[in-house]
Amino acid sequence: MADHPWKTDDWFVSEWNYAPEVTKEFNFSKNIKIHDVTLRDGEQQTGVILTKDEKIRIAEALAEAGVHRIEAGMPVVSPADNEAIKEIVRRNLGPQIFSFARCMKDDVKRAIDTGVNGVVMEIPSSKHLVDIAYRWPMEKAIETSIEATRYAHENGLEVVFFPIDFSRAELKWVIDLIDRVAKEGHMDALALVDTFGVVSPHAMRYFVREVQKRIKTRLEAHFHQDFGLGVANTIMALSEGVEVMHTTVLGVGERSGNTPMEDVVMALKTMYGVDVGIDTTKLTALANLVQRLTGVVVPTNKSIVGSSLYQIESGIIASWFKNCGERNATELFPIRWSAVGQPPAEVVMGKGSGIDSVNLWLEQLGMQVSEEDALKITAAVKAYSLKNKKMLSRGEFRDIAKSVVSLDA
């Protein structure tokens, strides 16, 4: 193990991440928790449908990975969702189980009946959304929030107040609203909700600090990826003392999705020295499970868990890999494959392959050829891959190699 946090056996990131000039204002909580919303917000992604058994399987996998809290769904959505939440609670998997509810007493009753530990309670918080989308009188929204949060607390639920569209509301006005709900109703925690992913990382620090001036309860970060900034914003919020991050596996979720758990977990661990207690060796298996059950198409180069991250096609990288070997693999990959549960790095064959890749495959096939034939095989491989627009299988490579050798025999 190396002596520096930026370079260990499992990762190699920039030393600058740990410079005192960078870290001096960090205020990370000592006990950051993950509140996973794959089973609720994740299922809101268009076309994603999870059965009761599939939700239970994902909940089990989340628990196995060490997730602290699971938002198991919204009981009012359907009888199947209601039953799935009850069964997840019954199995006592380890994490706290939360449900999602509108700030309505009837929704809270449904949550209580499932046996969950807590409830995330939504309310529109921007005047324009209340007026245009909900068409509610604002006083109605406030009164129902007060009644519902108080009722949830009185019935033993932990209450996370969840102001929808928080980030596009007039800040003083919405904090006044939240403060009133907290005092007249109940609030154990407040979610900083960037419903449409519209806050920049620079503005996130301002957002968190302004809320902290007025609200002294626990803060939680719930951000979306519409501009691809959910990970950066979540880390920025955590560095300001926010204690809980709401994430989904693979970033599944409505529109562009939610903050992807695997990205935040590994960025925190490697670049900030913050270990949130997740078994990172289970991240790839968890991602593969969610991909299979949701049917979501995941890019092969998806960060942390993409299926092609440790496949080496480029000739020059294959040469580096040959020289570095597995021992020095983090010279080529910022994270060692085993640290995130990926299969070992391998050299694959395609248009970008070079002579070192060809010689490696020939060696694995037990074939000895002249340097001239190896160059011919390399050219043939490139031509075949370009013509067919695909990587080569072992069989296709063997056929090409034998064809070249037989022609020169």
More confident: 253 or 142: 253
pTM score of the predicted model: 0.92
Cα–Cα distance measured from residue 320 to residue 331, given in angstroms and rounded to the nearest whole number: 9
Per-residue pLDDT, 77: 86
83 Cβ neighbours under 8 A, 6+ residues apart: 52
Per-residue pLDDT, 74: 94
Tell me the pLDDT tens digit for each residue of 379-401. Answer: 999 999 999 999 999 999 999 99
DSSP conformational letter for 292: H
Tell me the pLDDT tens digit for each residue of 197-219. Answer: 999 999 999 999 999 999 999 99
273, 8 Cβ separation under 8 angstroms: no
When pLDDT is averaged across residues 41-51 and rounded to a whole number, the result is: 94
Cα–Cα distance measured from residue 355 to residue 157, given in angstroms and rounded to the nearest whole number: 64
136, 127 Cβ separation under 8 angstroms: no
215, 186 Cβ separation under 8 angstroms: no
395, 363 Cβ separation under 8 angstroms: no
Cα–Cα distance measured from residue 87 to residue 72, given in angstroms and rounded to the nearest whole number: 10
Per-residue pLDDT, 1: 42
Mean model confidence pLDDT for the chain: 93
When pLDDT is averaged across residues 69-92 and rounded to a whole number, the result is: 95
When pLDDT is averaged across residues 301-316 and rounded to a whole number, the result is: 94
Q: What share of the chain in percent tops pLDDT 70?
A: 95
Tell me the pLDDT tens digit for each residue of 113-137. Answer: 999 999 999 987 766 655 555 555 6
With the CA atoms of 87, 91, 92 and 95 taken in that order, what torsion angle do they form, in degrees rounded to the nearest 10? Answer: -70
Tell me the pLDDT tens digit for each residue of 160-189. Answer: 999 988 999 889 888 988 998 899 999 999
Cα–Cα distance measured from residue 126 to residue 379, given in angstroms and rounded to the nearest whole number: 62
Tell me how crowded residue 218 is: count the other CB atoms within 10 A of its CB: 18
Per-residue pLDDT, 315: 86
Tell me how crowded residue 360 is: count the other CB atoms within 10 A of its CB: 18
Per-residue pLDDT, 103: 85
Domains along the chain with CATH numbers: 15-294 (3.20.20.70), 311-408 (no CATH)
Per-residue pLDDT, 136: 59
Per-residue pLDDT, 129: 56
As to burial, measured by CB atoms within 10 angstroms (0-12 exposed, 13-18 middle, 19+ buried), residue 134 is: middle
Cα–Cα distance measured from residue 208 to residue 227, given in angstroms and rounded to the nearest whole number: 19
CA 401 to chain centre: 43
197, 229 Cβ separation under 8 angstroms: yes
Cα torsion angle, 366, 370, 371, 374, sign: negative
Extended strands (E) in 116-198: 118-124, 158-164, 189-194
